A and B are shown apart, each in its own frame.
Chain A
């Protein structure tokens, strides 16, 4: 009797660390079309709502590129990102002065998760930049950042 309760609990606990790095990507055609044409669809959960608001307010200079949108789409996508933004799991994504971080790669969670990756690895031609999730997380576009899906290229 007890085993029937304990076993599922045990299995769930074992599965937790893997599941912790999976992000359910909520379906949103506008988000996919506008945000995932130049880069993968970064999970909205990876940043705080304030970070998304700040980012969506500066799209004409989006990390050096013009990613401007018409106002209707811009506000619809902002609402979507805010609604699915990082909660307890992602934590706060602000810098020391309280300013919202715009780069996922600068967040505490990202750095904690990548602490064993040295500077030379990031610079490999096959990786290029910490923002290139897919280089190592082959299934990143589907929200899968699990440990077992990682393959760091030479």
Chain B
């Protein structure tokens, strides 16, 4: 019984900590102070923003499918949550990859609105 309680408590704690993809849309929308636009996100994702690459250079224009690193050729699992349940479930990872990849594609960090737009678009993909 005590063992079961511990297991239940651990599961509850783990469940409470993990994020779901929609949490990031709400978080970025709140930070931006404006509603996200999936359409704007789609455009942002597939257009170069000052750097040599766009998001789509590695994640493809249809991120429900697997991508490939533009330089190293290493396979990248699908980015869209509909195709990959592991995506956008860990805030530390999400922040780390937005930081790195925005620097690589925009030569700066992304704004909250840009991130919200991309999230809205990724969540709209089936």
CB under 8 Å from chain A, chain B span 67-111: 69, 71-74, 96, 99-101, 103-104
Contact indicator B100/A65 (Cβ below 8 Å): yes
Docked Cα-Cα span, A65 to B96, in Å, equals 13
Contact of B104 with A65 in the complex, beta carbons under 8 Å: yes
- Asked if A40 meets B74 with Cβ closer than 8 Å, knowing A65-B104, A66-B104, the reply is yes
**Cβ contact within 8 Å between B99 and A132:** no
Q: Count of chain B residues with Cβ under 8 Å from any Cβ of A?
A: 11
Residues of A within 8 A of B100 (CB): 65-68
Q: Which of A1-53 contact B (CB under 8 A)?
A: 37-40
CA distance A70 to B91 in the complex (A): 14
Chain A residues with Cβ under 8 A from B96's Cβ?
Answer: 69-70
Question: Chain B nearest CB: distance from A106 CB in Å?
Answer: 17
Is B104 within 8 A of A132, CB to CB? Answer: no
Quick check: A38 and B74 within 8 Å, CB to CB?
yes
- Rounded to whole Å, the gap between the CB of B92 and the closest CB of chain A is 8
Q: How many residues on the A side are at the interface (Cβ–Cβ under 8 A)? A: 19
Q: Which residues of A contact B99 (CB under 8 A)?
A: 66, 68
Query: Is the C-beta of A124 less than 8 angstroms from some C-beta in chain B?
Result: no
Complex Cα spacing A131 to B72, Å: 8
Question: Is A114 interfacial (CB 8 A cutoff)?
Answer: no
Contacts of A70 in B (CB 8 A): 96
Q: Which of the residues B71, B73, B74, B103 comes within 8 Å of A66, measured between beta carbons?
A: B103
CA separation between A94 and B103, bound complex, in Å?
30
**Residues of A close to B73: CB separation below 8 A:** 128, 132, 134-135
- Chain B's nearest CB lies how many Å from the CB of A9? 41
Q: Which residues of B contact A37 (CB under 8 A)?
A: 74
User: B69's contact among A39, A66, A69, A135, by CB below 8 Å, is which?
Assistant: A39
Chain A residues within an 8 Å CB radius of B101: 66
Q: B23 to chain A: closest CB distance in Å?
A: 21
Q: In the complex, which residue of chain A has the Cβ closest to the Cβ of B107?
A: A66
A64: B residues at CB distance < 8 A: 71
A154 vs B19: C-alpha distance when bound (angstroms): 45
Residues of A participating in the B interface, judged by any CB pair closer than 8 Å: 37-40, 60, 63-70, 128-129, 131-132, 134-135
Q: Which residues of B contact A (CB under 8 A)?
A: 69, 71-74, 96, 99-101, 103-104
Nearest 9 pairs of A and B residues by beta carbon: A66-B103, A39-B72, A66-B100, A65-B104, A66-B104, A39-B74, A38-B69, A38-B72, A132-B73
